[in-house]
Structure 1
Amino acid sequence: MEGGDFFTSFRDSDEYQSFCDHPVAYFCAEFALESDFPIYAGGLGVLAGDLMKEAFDRKFPMLGIGLYYYVGYRYGSDDVKNGATELALKNPEDHGLEPVCGPDGKRIIVSLPSEGRNIKIAAWKYQKDTAPVYLLDTNLEENDLEDRKISWFLYTNDKKARIKQQMILGIGGYRFIKALGVLPSFYHLNEGNSAFLAYEIAREKAEEQGINFIQAQELVKSKVVFTNHTLVPAGNDVFENELFSMILSNYSDEIGVPLSDLIAQGEILGANAFSMTRFALRSSGKINAVSKLHGEYAAKTWPNYPIVPITNGIHIPTWDLSKDGEVVKKHDENKKILLNFVEEKTGQKWDQGDLVIGWGRRVVKYKRPLALIDDPDAFTSLSKNGKSVRAIFSGRPHPNDVEGNEIVKIIKKLADDKLKDRIVFLEGYDIELAQKMVSGSDVWLNTPYVGFEACGTSGMKAALNGTLLLSTDDGWMAEVDFDRIGWSIPSNRVSNNLINILSNQVIPQFFDQKDVWQQRMAQAREFIKSEFSASRMLREYIEKHYLD
């Protein structure tokens, strides 16, 4: 059974009724729910948002737990430290969020102890064609100003605020679900940011069965699912034991468990540090990587843990900008929309017949965003004999990522100088801009070092809309037959290989073999719909994690 057939049959089963009584609780630090809703930074949040939409479409009982960020990802917390007072705090109700209240009509508020005081936590509910998503909030009058700011910034560089966010998400999230009266069947950790909830599950189990905390930790693993999305160190939080002890000592006293026992589960021996990823691995009964290749690398990195691959998928209705017509015709219309947007934002007027290459995602060094334009003269030489090649770049580096911000500066400088009229950098990369780019570009470029990109779903969104792929064989791309939907780039000497493939294969086919190009557009679209949808991903979660 595929797609809808599986879910239709599943909804008639006893197992489905059990999930109705005990839904899956899905924890994530970010959710991409609306384009201008600043509670997501990139792929992790987009994936979480897509899953919430798919659960709603398929009527699968699931709820999301995240944080409400009043400023979000667009600014670094250093802005506040440096005295900035003009930061626009986003009102939750402006995005249609409702305060979560109990039967008495009063807001549900839970608390957790840290640094000699109790941090109060409320929540907002989002549910617009998604499974319900509860966003935790500490910006309450009852809290100190420092604690009110915990939920201002997404991925703050302030380690103290960061570990508190993860306490709020994990421990606070667990307590909130309990106060809501929900008894989940599974707690699904989408990355390790929420792993502290494992303490709460173990504490409760120890009290119920009269056993010690260590024994309880082993028993509750079967209730915890962990999805790892990256092997890159920057994506795996590590806190010094001294900071961990300072922030969690009151919690340790409250639950009657020594700090040493709490630290032991995530301790990096010899480093005097606590790893959230290591803790999540040790606390989970089921673990998955997000592509087959990622699974292979993860198994080598963490050989003592059984890790299964469940390749990410995309929510087709969100990303399908070609659904109302034949793919070639719709792509032409979408390309016109994209080129009009480029002209509006940059003043550059490109021709509909130009070959347009798109690159859009988080700007970070390992993704090699400069590969195409590392040699500006080589890129310029691709345009000749009346055949023009253009490129659109967009993306956000982390505010504190020096290398990522420098890469953006280099691209912008080239766009204003040597490659003026050949490339542009579009500001404000979000869901809406991503939709324009993946549906209107002719080629979608992806050049990470192999082994660094766990999955990378932007190419799925592009191929769904008839945009052909030009990529290294990393993440989900290692599962692709490029003969049908694009071209594979050898990862070594990527810039030279990229220019050669464009010159000898991509450009001739685009300009001189339209029938072949258009056939591949249709193949790409059908391939994504059949193999890389969020429907398939959710089904695998159910079969491999929630039922197995």
Structure 2
Amino acid sequence: MEHIYSKWHHPYKPAAKYKKKVAYFSMEFGIDQAFNIYSGGLGFLAGSHMRSGLELKQNMIGIGMLWKYGYYDQARNDDQTLKTEFNEKHFDFLEYTGIEVTIKLHDNPNVKVRAYVLKPEVFGTVPMYFLSTDVDGNDHLSRTITNHLYDQNPVTRISQSIVLGIAGAKVVEALGGADTYHLNEGHALPAFYYLRDKGVTKEQMVFTTHTPEKAGNEERDARHLNRCGFFGRTYSEQELQTEMVNGGMINYTISALRMARKANGVSKLHAIVANDMWKDYEGICEIIPITNAQNQKFWQDETIKKSWQKDNATAYKKRKLALKSELFDEVYKQTGKKLDPTVLTIVWARRFAAYKRADLLLHDYDRFKKLIHNEKYPVQIIWAGKPYPFDYGAIDTFNHLVHQSKQEPNLAVLIGYEIDLSRKLKCGSDVWLNTPRITREASGTSGMTAAMNGSVNVSTDDGWIPEFKKDEENCFVLPALDYQKPTYEQDKLDTDNLYNILENKVLPTYYDAPKKWQKIVFTAMNDVIPEFTTQRMAADYYKKLF
């Protein structure tokens, strides 16, 4: 009997304004704690999008990768420093669709790729298809392609893009094809090359660029990609020449921007930065802003939501104390430290990337010591986040914070930063600290879900913040500075400004003007909902991009 999800199928009749068939390709999806195949913000964003797609009855499907070992599991060495573990994952809730496609990788013309379906009823998403090369009959090397999200071996990384792009496009064909093919970031670029050869027009291809970081915009040698099978067939030298940029390279972002009808950046500021970044390359499509968002139903605590809707400060405070206690149970379990729910708690939690500056507070060590030993206005600080497992600089920062926190009863560094812990941190913190260097954070969605749960953003003026901020009314924002200054000078200025804001505004407001603090909390919720929810965002994608 044929599997119902081996054809394009939704458990509902798509809403009229969302009837266009859209296939959404992403290297990672953060949908549920039980399905840990994501690394960070890109995955959280894509997962929220898939949930809202179902809520709005959109005719969309997700195409992703079934990572056998996920990203990695955070553990600790004997001295509490970071240990990376790779453990095999088992996901009983996925079903084999019966769809198996073959692709050519390097010198192997017959690599098999299987598609497994995540049905809508499991986690409340649109139908999603996950690809695996761990298939009987594949050679050992081919079977390992879908082992690790963002494998550190460059050849494996290229193979992963080919699997997601070309095998993904073939799976969509097997399901009956799509009207629009959407690449969430450049990882699945081979899909566009393959589809273009199949007669899919520019009209049907759209693209989202997520990062102004050079490392996030992959660039690889064109001839090497050609040998790997990146283009779906072997390109002639002449064909390669037309695709090359920067001296014989293929830049995934530039190629996607040339092939797409339209593209988007993920905040208003990011769209400006992205248009400026790529303007010197010819044939680039327009990059419009569609600001990232998060799924309210999934991320917002129900009791917090009710207290906000009724403007009930007493109910809110009672629930916030309970949520802080839940978070502090986790801190106690991991570090043996007992934190105090009545003390202002600052959380810095996100991917550990250098530009996000996890250790910004420590740049002025004297003021840091003063802040954490302030008896009039006590604070507690928690850090969490996953460095890329082979980014030794980021791991070193993580470990430095671990060593600093060991000496102080009111500091903690947590491991296991995935959806469950992320939720606990957002619900249990009073301040959500966000410190990227300006223009480097394309959007940054964690602050949105923090605001939904009453954690007040203290942030540099980057990403989504310029669209949201009412300084001292719904958040506290560091003064914008000249991002062309040397990073050392930017860090110095931002550190000084951050301390001034914490010492003179945040702490006195929290302790001396609790009513004003409460007003900031509820104003932030008013301003984040519905504007920064994926209901708005998923609707925007259909309206403005698809």
TM band (smaller chain): 0.7 to 0.9
Given that residues 252 and 259 in structure 1 are in contact (C-alpha distance below 8 angstroms), is that contact kept between their aligned partners in structure 2? no
Aligned partners of 2:184 and 2:209 also within 8 Å: yes
Aligned to 2:155: 160
CA–CA separation in structure 2 for the residues paired with 1:373 and 1:333: 30
Aligned to 1:81: none
Q: Deviation string for 1:287-328 (max 9, x for gaps)?
A: 000000001111111125311101011100111012354433
Indicate how the Cα distance of structure 1 residues 269 and 371 shifts in structure 2: closer, same or farther if over 3 A, else same: closer
Corresponding residue for residue 6 of structure 2: none
1:248 Cα deviation from its structure 2 partner: 1.6
Change (3 A) 1:75 1:111: farther
> Hey, what does 2:399 align to over in structure 1?
409
- TM-score w.r.t. the length of structure 1 is 0.87
- Partner AA of 2:406 in structure 1: D
2:252 is aligned to 276
Q: Which residue of 1 aligns with 2:79?
A: none
Say yes or no: does 1:264 pair with 2:262.
no
Q: How much has 1:12 moved relative to structure 2?
A: 6.1
Is it true that 1:524 corresponds to 2:524 in the alignment? yes
Tell me which of 277, 280, 301 is aligned to 1:301. 277
Q: Which of 294, 299, 310 matches 2:290?
A: 310
How far did residue 199 of structure 1 move? 1.7
Identify the residue that residue 56 of structure 2 maps to in structure 1.
Answer: 58
Residue 399 of structure 1 corresponds to 389
Please, which moves more after superposition, 517-526 or 450-459?
517-526
Q: What letter is aligned with 1:183?
A: G
- Contact kept in structure 1, 2:193 and 2:231, CA below 8 Å: no
Structure-1 residue corresponding to 2:111: 119
The one-letter code of the counterpart of 1:473 is: D
By how many angstroms is 1:195 displaced?
1.4
In structure 2, the residue matched to 1:388 is 378
Q: Rate the CA distance shift 1:390–1:43 in 2: closer, same or farther, 3 A.
A: same
1:513 match: 513
- Looking at structure 1, the residues matched to 128 and 331 of structure 2 have their Cα atoms a distance apart, in angstroms, of 34
Structure 1 residues 220, 361: CA separation in 2 closer, same or farther (over 3 Å shift)? Answer: same
Could you tell me which residue of structure 1 aligns to residue 218 of structure 2? Answer: 237
- Alignment match of 2:187 (pick from 172, 178, 193): 193
- In 2: Cα distance, 1:484 partner to 1:531 partner: 17
1:41 Cα offset (Å): 0.3
The answer to whether the aligner puts 1:470 opposite 2:458 as a matched pair is yes
For structure 1, the 5+ residue unaligned runs are 1-9, 77-85, 102-107, 206-218
Residue 518 of structure 2 aligns to which amino acid in structure 1? Q
1:337-356, aligned counterparts within 5 Å? 337-356=326-345
Q: What amino acid does structure 2 have at the position aligned with 1:515?
A: K
Greater shift in the superposed pair: 219-228 or 128-137: 219-228
Matched, 1:448 2:436: yes
Q: Deviations over 1:56-79 (max 9, x none)?
A: 111111100011000121179xxx
Please report how far the alpha carbon of residue 542 of structure 1 lies from its aligned counterpart in structure 2 after TM superposition. 1.2
Question: How big is each residue's C-alpha offset from its partner over 1:422-480, in whole Å with a ceiling of 9 and x where there is no partner?
Answer: 31100110010010011110000001110000000010011111111100000001112
> Does the Cα contact within 8 Å between 1:122 and 1:137 map onto a contact in 2?
yes
DSSP 3-state at the match of 2:102 = strand
Quote the residue 1:204 is aligned against.
Answer: 198
Post-superposition, which runs of at least 4 consecutive aligned residues in structure 1 deviate over 6 A? none
Q: 1:56 to 1:259 in 2, by over 3 A?
A: farther
CA-to-partner distance for each residue in 1:37-59, whole Å, 9 max, x for gaps?
23100000000000000011111
The SS at the match of 1:92 is coil
Closer, same or farther in 2 for the Cα pair 1:250/1:358, shift >3 Å? closer
Alpha-carbon offset, residue 241 of structure 1: 2.6
How has the CA–CA distance of structure 1 residues 87 and 329 changed in structure 2, closer, same or farther, with 3 Å as cutoff? closer
* Per-residue deviation, 1:251: 4.0
Q: Give the Cα–Cα distance (whole angstroms) in 2 for the partners of residues 386 and 484 of structure 1.
A: 24
1:312·1:457 contact (CA, 8 Å) conserved in 2? yes
Q: In the alignment, which residue of structure 2 is the partner of 1:90?
A: 89
Say whether the 8 Å CA contact 1:92–1:124 is kept in structure 2. no
- Unmatched 5+ residue regions in structure 2? 1-12, 75-84, 308-314, 482-489
Match of 2:352 in 1: 363
Among residues 110, 117, 120, which one is paired with 2:101 in the alignment? 110
Instruction: For residue 36 of structure 1, report the CA deviation from its aligned partner.
Output: 4.0
Q: Percent identity at matched positions?
A: 35
Q: For 1:63 and 1:38, how far apart are their aligned partners in 2?
A: 19
1:155, 1:429 → 2: CA distance? 17
1:11 Cα deviation from its structure 2 partner? 6.5
Whole-angstrom CA distance in 2 between matches of 1:67 and 1:12: 28
1:33: Cα distance to partner?
1.6
Q: How does 1:65-76 map to 2 (within 5 A)?
A: 65-74=63-72
Contact 2:454 2:522 (8 Å CA) reproduced: yes
- Given the two structures, how large is their TM-score scaled by the length of structure 2? 0.87
Residues in 1 aligned to 2:144 and 2:442: alpha-carbon distance in whole angstroms: 32
The aligned residue for residue 82 of structure 2 is none
1:121 aligned partner, one-letter code: V
Change (3 A) 1:315 1:87: closer
Partner Cα separation in structure 2 for residue 455 and residue 163 of structure 1: 26
Q: Which has the higher helix share?
A: 1
Q: Does the aligned pair in 2 maintain the 1:336–1:440 contact within 8 Å?
A: yes
Q: Does 2:96 align with 1:99?
A: yes
Give the stretch that moved more between structures: 120-129 or 242-251.
242-251
Report the alpha carbon displacement of residue 279 of structure 1 after superposing the two structures with TM: 1.1
Contact preservation (8 Å) 1:70, 1:151: yes
After TM superposition, the structure 1 stretch with the greater mean CA deviation from structure 2, 384-393 or 50-59, is 384-393
Q: Look up the SS of the partner of 1:30 in the other structure.
A: coil
Q: Shift of the alpha carbon at 1:249?
A: 7.8
- Cα drift, residue 512 of structure 1: 0.5
Count how many residue pairs are aligned between Structure 1 and Structure 2. 494
Q: Alpha-carbon deviations, 1:176-219, whole Å to 9, x = none?
A: 11122x221100100011111112221111xxxxxxxxxxxxx7
